[in-house]
């Protein structure tokens, strides 16, 4: 196989279960390919305890959107080692990866109306913040999915860039900047990320009160979870500006000893997810409101994914800046954190800005 894009296109034609990814700031690609019997579907987030592989988790587990763990079959890192994999060992599948076609698309007027309703709810109840998302469809042409992945990888070096193909989950691609949980040696790390603005060339960022408040909700929630698991002491870095793709966010990093979670990693991730950064605050009230206001299924958007206990490390990211790849379309998922200070028109533009990372990669490949 001469190039990675051809390699990935061949894997997709064979409909293999696989995940390929790169870490933020790294040029090293990693891939895990498994036979279908090595893909498992735990019934609960906490049942990830004691498992290893690549996890692909939905926003909410359901029959249509199962929690997926791709167990280690073939695992390689580095372009040379990946291209050396013999793909003739994988047969063409009789059944194709499931495709979900009932994507509910709303127009700008409907989205602005939803934001108005959300602001009204926040002002008249104990709901402080809610994330409201929408779907953005883009027509596919004849472009190579492998080339599109490579373009996204080149354009977003500061993100976790991935492509997954799993029978019961579908074909997904994304470039997310948000760490949910990561281990470095004996230290664990999680991140409070919220607030968004367009990326600046001069790196001279200033943040509105709305963004600062939005990010503070997430940090407060993380500390509540720390208290439940008796996590102390911990150190913090930030809030600071994190650039990713075409946008920038406010970010605070929390670090603590890994031994606090040695036997409780599944329980911790189950409590941590979803954070207010992708759901809202208070969490239960926000979750119920999202069920009412959003007419589409989030599926794996705002879920989480990444290597789970692979090579004795955990590197899990929130599934933002993502899209579902269907035979005819790319379905981009994009949302924003709504508070009492939100301006509907600005929230619409924020969803467009967040989708810009994926759109620019799609357009670059389609126009070559």
328-356: pLDDT as tens digits: 999 999 999 999 999 999 999 999 999 99
Domain extent at residue 34: 4-366
Roughly what angle, to the nearest 10 degrees, separates helices 344-366 and 108-124? 140
Tokens 């998302």 -> residue:
133
Neighbouring CB atoms inside 10 A of 283's CB total: 15
Bridge partner list, 198: 247
Give the model confidence (pLDDT) of 148-164 as tens digits. Answer: 999 999 999 989 999 99
Sheet of 179-184, strands arranged across: 39-40, 68-70, 53-57, 304-310, 313-318, 179-184, 187-198, 247-257, 235-244
Q: How far is CA 363 from CA 329, 350, 360, 367, in A?
A: 13, 19, 5, 6
Q: Tell me, what CATH number does 319's domain have?
A: 3.60.120.10
pLDDT at 359 (0 to 100):
97
Q: What is the pLDDT of residue 95?
A: 55
b/e burial code for range 336-366 (CB count within 10 A of at least 16 → b) = bbbbeebebeebbebbebbbbbbbbbbebbe
How are strands ordered across the β-sheet holding 17-22? 74-77, 29-34, 17-22, 160-166, 170-176, 322-325, 329-338, 129-139, 280-281
Q: 10-residue block means of pLDDT along the chain (368 residues)?
A: 89 94 96 91 87 95 94 93 92 62 89 98 95 97 96 94 95 94 91 84 86 87 94 93 82 92 86 90 94 96 95 92 95 94 95 95 94
From residue 72, give the alpha-carbon distance in Å to each of 132, 137, 293, 297. Answer: 35, 33, 39, 29
Residue 33 has a pLDDT of 95
Report the pLDDT value the prediction gives residue 8, as an integer from 0 to 100: 97
Q: What pTM value is reported for the model?
A: 0.91
Residue 343 neighbours by CB under 8 Å, 6+ apart = none
Q: Any residues with CB less than 8 A from the CB of 138 and at least 6 apart, and which?
A: 329, 330, 332, 359, 362
Burial 102-116 (b: 16+ CB within 10 A, else e): eeeeeeeeebeebbe
**Domains identified in the chain, total number:** 1
Cα 268 to Cα 164: distance, rounded to the nearest angstrom: 25
């Amino acid at each position: 196989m001469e190039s990675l894009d051809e390699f990935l296109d061949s894997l997709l034609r064979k409909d293999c279960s696989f995940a390929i990814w790169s870490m933020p700031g790294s040029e090293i690609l990693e891939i895990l390919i498994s036979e279908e019997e090595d893909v498992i579907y735990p019934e609960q987030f906490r049942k990830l305890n004691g498992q290893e592989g690549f996890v692909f988790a939905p926003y909410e587990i359901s029959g249509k959107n199962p929690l997926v763990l791709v167990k280690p079959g073939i695992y390689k890192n580095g372009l040379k080692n990946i291209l050396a994999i013999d793909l003739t060992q994988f047969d063409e599948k009789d059944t194709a990866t499931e495709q979900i076609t009932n994507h509910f698309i709303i127009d700008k007027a409907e989205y602005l109306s939803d934001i108005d309703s959300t602001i009204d709810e926040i002002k008249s109840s104990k709901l402080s913040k809610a994330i409201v998302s929408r779907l953005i469809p883009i027509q596919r042409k004849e472009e190579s999915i492998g080339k599109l992945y490579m373009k996204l990888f080149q354009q977003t070096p500061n993100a976790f860039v991935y492509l997954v193909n799993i029978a019961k989950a579908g074909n997904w691609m994304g470039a997310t900047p948000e760490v949910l949980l990561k281990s470095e040696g004996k230290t664990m790390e999680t991140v409070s990320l919220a607030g968004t603005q367009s990326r600046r060339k001069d790196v001279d960022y200033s943040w509105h009160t709305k963004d600062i408040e939005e990010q503070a909700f997430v940090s407060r929630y993380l500390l509540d979870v720390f208290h439940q698991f008796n996590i102390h002491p911990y150190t913090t870095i930030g809030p600071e500006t994190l650039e990713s793709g075409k946008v920038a966010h406010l970010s605070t990093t929390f670090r603590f000893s890994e031994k606090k979670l040695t036997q409780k990693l599944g329980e911790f991730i189950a409590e941590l997810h979803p954070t207010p950064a992708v759901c809202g605050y208070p969490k239960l009230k926000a979750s119920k409101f999202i069920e009412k206001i959003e007419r589409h299924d989030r599926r794996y958007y705002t879920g989480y994914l990444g290597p789970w206990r692979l090579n004795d490390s955990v590197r899990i990211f929130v599934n933002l800046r993502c899209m579902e790849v269907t035979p005819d379309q790319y379905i981009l998922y994009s949302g924003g954190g709504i508070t009492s200070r939100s301006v509907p028109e600005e929230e619409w533009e924020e969803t467009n800005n967040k989708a810009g990372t994926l759109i620019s990669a799609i357009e670059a490949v389609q126009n070559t």
